[in-house]
Amino acid sequence: MVRSYEDDPLTLAMAPPPNETPAQREARERAEREASRISDEIDAQLRRERETEKKKKPVKLLLLGQSESGKTATLKSECTLPTAIHFQLLYARRQWAEDKSSWTCVVLLNLIRNVNDILDMLGREMVAAQTAGLPAASSSHPNAKPSGISTSNADSPDSSPLSSDDEAVVEVRRASIGVGPSSTGHPPLKFRDTHRLLRLRLAPLRRVQADLEGRLGAAATELYTSNTTSAAPFDPEAEGSLLAKGKERAHHTEFSINSRNGWKSALERFRAARRSGDDGHGTLRRGAHRDLEDEVLSVLAGCREDIRALWEDRVVRQMMARRKVRIEDSAGFFLNDVERIAREDYQITDDDIVRARLRTLGVQEYRVTFEHGHSAGNEWRMYDVGGTRSSRVVWYSYFDDCDAIIFLAPVSCFDEKLAEDKRVNRLEDSYMLWKSVCSCKLLARTQLVLFLNKCDLLQAKLMRGVKIRDSVPSFGERRNDVATATKYFQQHFKEIQRTFSPVQRPFYVHLTSVIDTKSTAVTLGAVEESILRDHLRRADLM
């Protein structure tokens, strides 16, 4: 049976009365319009509530990558921008002024380490020159004493305050910057009295380095050993995984380290020291409570000219070139800024902070609530992790419910080895780590964003004539320039993602130099938008 529209009971019930007057009709239509407005308002209210509900779930973002890939620098880079609207770290913003002065000690430590590294090399070379039968210090002064350097002790008693413990630390540090025992196969370098004097006059910096390292704790020194041979000890399915072996966290040297012991707490030690020197009226007492930072600055200011002389010395440069040491490419390099930094009134800049190096231990959490921009009202939780192989085992516990990962792969490191395992090429390690992250089932729905970082250092390295194919044979005869190299590396990462992701996902990649704060802010802006879009879509599906 076919029913006509006019027969529909609802239509009949809603139909105006047949004898409706114009006044009644107007009243009815007004009532209908009002009902419709109220209904729209209720819908809008419900929509707003749903959006708020969605926003209540924080966006969870991890920064992953090997040690010295630039994870912490990425966060610092964002914090330094006064007008940054992206990733506004409210925690960091509030603490930034305080943190800024605490980072001063890190910069001073980095600079002093640069100097001591050179002095170590110099000591070895001077001994080598002497054992080669040449005078280590050919006197330019008629009354100058003969060199006191003894061949039985690399650093003679008159010129070096090194204890055997110090020597061990120096050995480790030398290994980290690729400093061999001495440059061989060349005629001995022509050292003069000035070199011996420089070593003598700069010797106090060794003690200062030890004091600063003591104050900053474990974060101040790099890790040169690892108790795991796996690139991804967090991956239960990976060979050599500590989790797979069922080893407990407590058995692992870095497992005991948590967010309270990261660089934030390293800086906190300085804040505490500063507070203890405060007389309660906002002024620092001198003498017994004199701030370590002031003391270091005063020693450094006294050494400024000698540091400059050491760094600009032709023979010293020759020595480093022979040893293939590129101290200027190492993390926390500040020797070119000695004129500005080694002063009692040194004021740290944002740029110094981004370039300062302090290792992250464990996992650092940042909670951020955006006040404006497209993330307004959203809470973001960001996790900056320690990247050494031993530290990676704790990563897994942060994977659950993770919206996005920014994975940093330092591409300038194609010819370098991991500090914690000298057998492993750093680019290879990044590939292995990326593969584990891509294939991890827990991260199957997580957005992955790859930063091919340290492009500035890559550029400088290639300009110096370093050939990629010497370290990466598969690179072959391609053009040895940044564009070709990054395209090649990018393709490799893309292929790994495509092959190993349990579910196909878009490949997001950015070429970065995260110490360039301005361009990093632009990149992070785009990343933030894309992560947020995905986050809301996931919330919609819930």
Annotated binding site: 329-330, 360, 453-456
Which listed option, Mg ion, ligand GTP, none, makes contact with residue 67 (CB within 5 to 8 Å by class)?
Answer: ligand GTP
The residues that touch ligand GTP, with contacts defined as CB under 6 A, are 65, 67-73, 331-332, 354-355, 357, 359-360, 386-387, 453-454, 456-457, 513-515
Contact pick of 226, 241, 360, 490 for Mg ion (by CB under 5 A): 360
- The CB-of-477 to ligand GTP minimum distance in angstroms stands at 28
Cα–Cα distance, 417 to 529 (Å, whole number):
35
Spell 52-84 as b/e; 16+ CB within 10 A means b: eebbebbbbbbbbbbbbbbbbbbbbbbbbbeeb
- The CB-of-55 to ligand GTP minimum distance in angstroms stands at 29
Cα–Cα distance, 401 to 488 (Å, whole number):
32
Cα–Cα distance, 363 to 323 (Å, whole number):
36
- The CB-of-331 to Mg ion minimum distance in angstroms stands at 10
Residue 182's SS3 state is coil
Nearer to ligand GTP, 166 or 456 (CB): 456
Which listed option, ligand GTP, Mg ion, none, makes contact with residue 497 (CB within 5 to 8 Å by class)?
Answer: none
Question: Which residues sit in the known binding site for GTP?
Answer: 329-330, 453-456
Distance, CA of 39 to chain centre: 52
Which of these segments, 39-47, 57-65, 204-212, 352-360, binds Mg ion (CB under 5 A)?
352-360
DSSP calls for 112-155: HHHHHHHHHHHHHHHHHHHHTTS-SSB-SSTTPPPP---TTSSS
* Backbone dihedral angles phi then psi of residue 12, each to the nearest 5 degrees: -65, -40
Nearer to ligand GTP, 217 or 332 (CB): 332
The amino acid sitting at 24 is: Q
Which listed option, Mg ion, ligand GTP, none, makes contact with residue 457 (CB within 5 to 8 Å by class)?
Answer: ligand GTP
Q: Is 391 in the site for Mg ion (CB under 5 A)?
A: no
Q: Is 72 in the site for Mg ion (CB under 5 A)?
A: yes
**End-to-end Cα separation, the chain, in angstroms:** 43
- The CB-of-224 to ligand GTP minimum distance in angstroms stands at 12
Which positions ≥6 away from 502 have C-beta within 8 Å? 439, 441, 444
Which of these segments, 65-73, 196-204, 239-247, 463-471, binds Mg ion (CB under 5 A)?
65-73
Which positions ≥6 away from 67 have C-beta within 8 Å? 222, 223, 359, 386, 387, 388, 391, 418, 419, 420
Nearer to ligand GTP, 254 or 306 (CB): 254
- The CB-of-253 to Mg ion minimum distance in angstroms stands at 17
- The CB-of-65 to ligand GTP minimum distance in angstroms stands at 5
Residues near Mg ion, by CB under 5 A: 71-72, 360
